[in-house]
Chain A
Amino acid sequence: NAGVTQTPKFQVLKTGQSMTLQCAQDMNHNSMYWYRQDPGMGLRLIYYSASEGTTDKGEVPNGYNVSRLNKREFSLRLESAAPSQTSVYFCASSEAIGTGVYGYTFGSGTRLTVV
């Protein structure tokens, strides 16, 4: 099983450029998430989608937009990249968090540098 697939793996942007990070999962999970991870800051939630057709802001949504295209795909868009958005971005999916049995499954990450 592929699990959670993120593209691209690496990206360098110039300040002001836009780009979309793609994420797809093949586990039939209802919920999907976008996190960023910065040194010393841990994982911070940008946006999440509890189920197909819904999206909600996380801790650090400013400068980002998301689209839950269908049950499998959840994309993250940077409309006008800023150096502060240099980070590692992880997509994740989950099923039934509340049961305490199933956690998140993460993609392998996108390393984004904004210059």
Chain B
Amino acid sequence: RKEVEQDPGPFNVPEGATVAFNCTYSNSASQSFFWYRQDCRKEPKLLMSVYSSGNEDGRFTAQLNRASQYISLLIRDSKLSDSATYLCAVNVNDYKLSFGAGTTVTVRA
């Protein structure tokens, strides 16, 4: 089983829609969780950390479910500019993150 798994998508949604997707992880001892955004042919950029209580950053909401070992990302009121690949990352130890292969989101006009 891979350490981190994501539904690759693509999720093709109209502007203004809500889209949500999950990322499962295998190491129950993991403590740090992140969502990254990667645009085509660019480097991944940190979108948000995921905290135990869940957290929001504008139109983005991240949740952690420790019992089922997954994190989720919800995007409300999707914009064309939200089109990207979203990578989840989970810590392996104090130094290393393991990344999912990414979920592709395409927002259409």
Interface residues of A (CB under 8 A from B): 31, 33, 40-43, 45, 48, 50, 58, 90, 94, 97-101, 103-109
* Cα-based distance from A84 to B34 in the complex (angstroms): 30
| CB-nearest residue of chain B to A59 | B98
> 4 tightest CB-CB pairs across the interface, nearest first?
A42-B101, A100-B32, A98-B94, A106-B43
**Chain B residues with CB under 8 A of A101:** 49
Interface of A is mostly: mixed
**Chain B residues with CB under 8 A of A90:** 43-44
B20 touches A (CB below 8 Å) = no
With A97-B91, A99-B32 in contact, do A104 and B97 touch (Cβ < 8 Å)?
yes
B70 touches A (CB below 8 Å) = no
14 example contacts (A-B, Cβ-Cβ < 8 A) are as follows A33-B96, A42-B99, A42-B100, A42-B102, A48-B96, A50-B95, A90-B43, A97-B91, A100-B91, A103-B34, A103-B89, A104-B89, A106-B44, A107-B43
